[in-house]
Structure 1
Amino acid sequence: MTDTLTLYTNPMSRGRIARWMLEEVGQPYETKILGYDGAMKAPAYLAINPMGKVPALVHGQTVVTEVAAICAYLADAFPAAGLAPAPNAASRGPYYRWLFFAAGPLEAAVTDKALGVTVPYDKKMMAGYGDFATVMDVLEDALSVDGWLAGDRFSAADLYVGAHVMWGLQFGSIEKRPAFEAFAARLAERPAHRRATEIDDGAMPDQAR
Structure 2
Amino acid sequence: MVADLTFYTNPQSRGQIVRWMLEEVGAPYDTEYLGYGGTMKAEPYLSINPMGKVPAIRHSGKVVTEVAAICTYLADAFPEAGLAPPPADRADYYRFLFFAAGPLEQAFSLKAVDFTPPPERRAMFGHGCWEDAIGGIERMLGDREFITGRFSAADLYVSSQLGFMLMFGMLEPRPSFSAYVARCTDRDAYRRAKQLDEQAAEELKAQA
RMSD: 1.6
Where does the alignment leave 5 or more consecutive residues of structure 2 unmatched? none
8 Å Cα contact 1:23/1:192 also seen in 2: yes
User: So what's the TM-score if we normalise by structure 2?
Assistant: 0.93
The one-letter amino acid paired with 1:122 is: E
Distance 1:102 1:35 in 2: 26
Q: Deviations over 1:83-140 (max 9, x none)?
A: 1111122xx0100000011100001011111212111111111110111111111212
Task: Call closer, same or farther: CA 1:133–1:29 in 2, change over 3 Å.
Answer: same
Distance 2:205 2:134 in 1: 30
8 Å Cα contact 2:145/2:180 also seen in 1: no
Aligned to 1:70: 70
- How many residues were matched structurally? 204
The one-letter amino acid paired with 1:19 is: R
8 Å Cα contact 2:151/2:184 also seen in 1: no
1:161 aligns with 2:137: no
- Same amino acid, percent of matched pairs: 54
8 Å Cα contact 2:23/2:193 also seen in 1: yes
8 Å Cα contact 1:7/1:29 also seen in 2: yes
The one-letter amino acid paired with 2:85 is: P
User: So what's the TM-score if we normalise by structure 1?
Assistant: 0.93
Aligned to 1:11: 11
Counterparts of residues 1-209 of structure 1 (less than 5 Å):
4-89=4-89, 92-150=90-148, 152-205=149-202
Distance 1:207 1:8 in 2: 14
The one-letter amino acid paired with 2:105 is: E
Distance 1:206 1:60 in 2: 29
Where does the alignment leave 5 or more consecutive residues of structure 1 unmatched? none
Matched residue of 1:148: which SS? coil
